Structure 1
Amino acid sequence: MLCKVKTMRNLSIQKTIFYFYSIISNIIINGEHKKMTIELEKYYNKFCEDKRLTRRHGQVEYITSMKYIHEYLKDKGNAKILDVGAGTGRYSVQLANEGYDVTAIELVKHNLGILKSKGSTVKAMQGTALDLSRFQENTFDMTLVFGPMYHLYKFEDKVKALQEAKRVTKSGGVILVAYCMNEYSILTYGFKENHIRESIENGKVNEGFHVISEPEDLYDYVRIEDINKLNGEVKLQRIKLIAADGPANYMRPVLNSMDEDTFKIFIDYHLSTCERQDLLGASAHTLDILRKE
């Protein structure tokens, strides 16, 4: 009987420890997410997201992404689309204007206000990629996750965002996920802008030249093997992985000085090479196109 009492007491202590550990973990996690939200609010209150995709290097990314969106919306005129991390609505508003049923989720109030001011049929609401519980399973034909992975720096948060996107997407539906790539950051901010030494010294770049991000850094950078690991964790089937903007961000001044005809040729060049596996990792952004089985 005494042994039984001791066992029950030990179990009670273990449960209490687990309970308080869970509370502390949630406080830490929620605190980190709140910190990230505050940093993003400050950033996007100053950064003109609405104009980013209208500049030449941004146009390359936009034109490329829309090409593949349309490819997987073919013969789906009544498709329901969820745009997670919709920003100011560059994609969601255009798709709504094309007649699709579009719902947009955006974390940053400033961006959401601009999106709503455009007077489209987009059903826009504030929310986070980590919690899409307002939507039932198997609701959308296509889910776009074009912003969240730029800013979620923890592996488990990226997994959660993908799990939520998968849950709300219909079986057979398509999920498109955008990432910022590691080598672009190393080559531009690190070497071109001469921050590589300080980045190594302060632990922002590790021995393998992988960027190590924290909430105040705002952006997180990945390699293809990181993306593959995420997909394996969530069990999503890749259709294809493409370079969303290829060399465009490395040559912004050159693109901006091009005449229209030459820029069109550049777009043709990029679209003809954006699926080449030997070029993917050097792109500033990649677009992972996935199918929910």
Structure 2
Amino acid sequence: MAEEGFYIDAIDLHPDNVARMKELFKDKSNVSVKLGNALDLHDFSNDVYDLVLELGPIYHLESIEQRVKAIKEAARVAKKGAPIFVSFVLQDAPLIEYIFQSENPAEEINEIGYERDTALVTDNTGSSIQLHTISAIDELTDKVLETLPVSKGPRFAQDGLSQVIRESVNNMSEASYNEWIQYLIATAERADLMGYSNHVVQIFIKN
């Protein structure tokens, strides 16, 4: 987006990430990088952004109240009619990639909270990432729509099966990779494939 000439304010909670971004965009006068917290964007004015990308905070926040608060702040700084992209990490692609594709899945799965009868991850021990199911995203979406001045936009799979077949994707020719990207775009909103994606993005529109 910076290459296309848009002015961007980028924030991150971790100083290392801020330092990396500042180095990456040091030659870009249209990119401002700051240390910040998605729960409190007090340095940013109301109704100023044409687009807000919240592509990390929600799946590092533990409670639904914190998640709603972060989306509320994103909506506050967005202009009326602006889309707000909110990213989630689903549970099954990471479960397959990091557990069932490991050398010893039966041992690895004991390292996390896991209900075998429902195949639900209850505690992603050792990681700050909160894993969601589609129903959990639905629950948060309903809460956001009830309490914030936003309407519901599209929901799409951000990466589809890319993480699960990472090795195959990394070995594709450029032509094959372009076909894979086209497949992801064409299937991004298919409900029957949504749960296979590592990340899912829900779009809200500021009213």
For residues 60-119 of structure 1, the C-alpha deviation after alignment (integer angstroms, 9 at most, x for no partner) is: xxxxxxxxxxxxxxxxxxxxxxxxxxxxxxxxxxx2232212111111111111211222
Q: Distance in 2 between matches of 1:217 and 1:250?
A: 19
Q: What SS is found at the alignment partner of 1:171? A: coil
| Distance of aligned partners of 1:195 and 1:219 in 2 relative to their CA distance in 1, 3 Å threshold | farther
**Identity over aligned pairs, percent:** 31
| Aligned with 1:187 (options 79, 82, 96) | 96
| Distance of aligned partners of 1:203 and 1:248 in 2 relative to their CA distance in 1, 3 Å threshold | closer
| Distance of aligned partners of 1:215 and 1:130 in 2 relative to their CA distance in 1, 3 Å threshold | farther
Counterpart in the other structure of 1:259: 173
Deviation at 1:250, TM superposition (A): 1.1
Q: Distance in 1 between matches of 2:125 and 2:33?
A: 25
| Distance of aligned partners of 1:208 and 1:164 in 2 relative to their CA distance in 1, 3 Å threshold | farther
Q: What SS is found at the alignment partner of 2:118? A: coil
Counterpart in the other structure of 1:71: none
Give the stretch that moved more between structures: 184-193 or 280-289. Answer: 184-193
Letter in 2 for 1:210: L
| Aligned with 2:131 (options 205, 210, 221) | 221
Q: Distance in 2 between matches of 1:211 and 1:237?
A: 30
* Larger proportion of strand: 2
Provide the aligned C-alpha RMSD in A. Answer: 2.0
| Distance of aligned partners of 1:196 and 1:135 in 2 relative to their CA distance in 1, 3 Å threshold | farther
| Aligned with 2:53 (options 136, 144, 148) | 144
| Distance of aligned partners of 1:205 and 1:148 in 2 relative to their CA distance in 1, 3 Å threshold | same
Q: What SS is found at the alignment partner of 1:130? A: coil
The structure with higher relative contact order (CA 8 Å, sep 6+) is 2
Q: Distance in 1 between matches of 2:112 and 2:168?
A: 33
* Larger proportion of helix: 1
Q: Distance in 1 between matches of 2:106 and 2:64?
A: 24
Contact preservation (8 Å) 2:96, 2:164: no
Contact preservation (8 Å) 1:186, 1:209: no
For residues 238-279 of structure 1, the C-alpha deviation after alignment (integer angstroms, 9 at most, x for no partner) is: 211111111111111111222111111111222111111110
| Distance of aligned partners of 1:144 and 1:239 in 2 relative to their CA distance in 1, 3 Å threshold | same
Letter in 2 for 1:241: R
Counterpart in the other structure of 1:274: 188
Q: What SS is found at the alignment partner of 1:212? A: strand
Give the stretch that moved more between structures: 117-126 or 275-284. Answer: 117-126
Letter in 2 for 1:191: F
| Distance of aligned partners of 1:190 and 1:215 in 2 relative to their CA distance in 1, 3 Å threshold | closer
Q: Distance in 2 between matches of 1:252 and 1:277?
A: 22
| Aligned with 2:140 (options 196, 210, 230) | 230
Q: How does 1:1-293 map to 2 (within 5 A)?
A: 95-117=1-23, 118-119=25-26, 120=28, 121-193=30-102, 194-195=104-105, 199=109, 204-206=113-115, 207-213=117-123, 216-235=126-145, 236-293=150-207
Q: Which runs of 5+ in 2 are unaligned?
A: none
Q: Which runs of 5+ in 1 are unaligned?
A: 1-94
Q: Distance in 2 between matches of 1:197 and 1:225?
A: 28
Structure showing greater radius of gyration is 1
